[in-house]
């Protein structure tokens, strides 16, 4: 199955314009700059930040100490996390029938092809590389917004 057809299967036109995003990231600096970049492009998703894979699984209702089972619209996850890493988290999410329907993107500093392929094998929809400067984060914020638009089945405007 190609990436294009995989994304097409998950499209849902009824999804809201500003999604509830679960951001699983242990670097508070990366979180802060990404949230500022969302503001820069005038996009206001509701972002819940969790710093590791185990707490994120609990937040979703899985793992050793499941919480109420919140359901975000979109998941962004770093690969290199304390405890369960991004791949371990994704494997558990994909194994759950309901959670596997949530669109997910890996957000990482890794540019290793094997990481990208392993991410897609784990069921991720998008693989995004963290930039190293402000303009790169603004571009990344647009890419995340465009990824969400793609999941919603909208056309993408790469200039906004």
The string of pLDDT tens digits covering residues 25-60 is: 999 999 999 999 999 999 999 999 999 999 999 899
Residue 50, phi then psi, degrees to nearest 5 = -130, 135
CATH number belonging to domain 19-147: 3.40.50.2300
pLDDT of residue 148: 79
Confidence of residue 110 (pLDDT cuts 50, 70, 90): confident
CA distance 98 to 35: 27
pLDDT at 89: 93
Residue 144 has pLDDT above 70, yes or no: yes
Per-domain residue ranges of the chain: 19-147
User: What predicted TM-score, i.e. pTM, was given to this entire model?
Assistant: 0.81
Q: Is there a contact between 105 and 148 (Cβ–Cβ < 8 Å)? A: no
């Amino acid at each position: 199955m190609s990436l294009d057809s995989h994304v097409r299967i998950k499209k849902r036109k009824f999804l809201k314009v500003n999604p509830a995003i679960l951001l699983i990231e242990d670097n508070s600096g990366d979180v802060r700059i990404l949230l500022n970049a969302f503001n820069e492009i005038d996009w206001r998703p509701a972002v819940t930040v969790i710093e590791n894979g185990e707490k994120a699984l609990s937040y979703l209702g899985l793992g050793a100490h499941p919480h109420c089972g919140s359901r975000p619209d979109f998941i962004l996850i770093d690969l290199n996390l304390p405890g369960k890493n991004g791949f371990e988290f994704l494997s558990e999410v994909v194994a759950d029938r309901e959670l596997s329907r949530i669109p997910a993107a890996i957000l990482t500093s890794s540019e290793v092809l094997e990481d990208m392929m392993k991410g897609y094998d784990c069921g991720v929809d998008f693989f995004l590389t963290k930039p190293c400067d402000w303009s790169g984060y603004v571009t990344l914020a647009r890419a995340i917004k465009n990824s969400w638009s793609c999941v919603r089945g909208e056309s993408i405007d790469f200039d906004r």
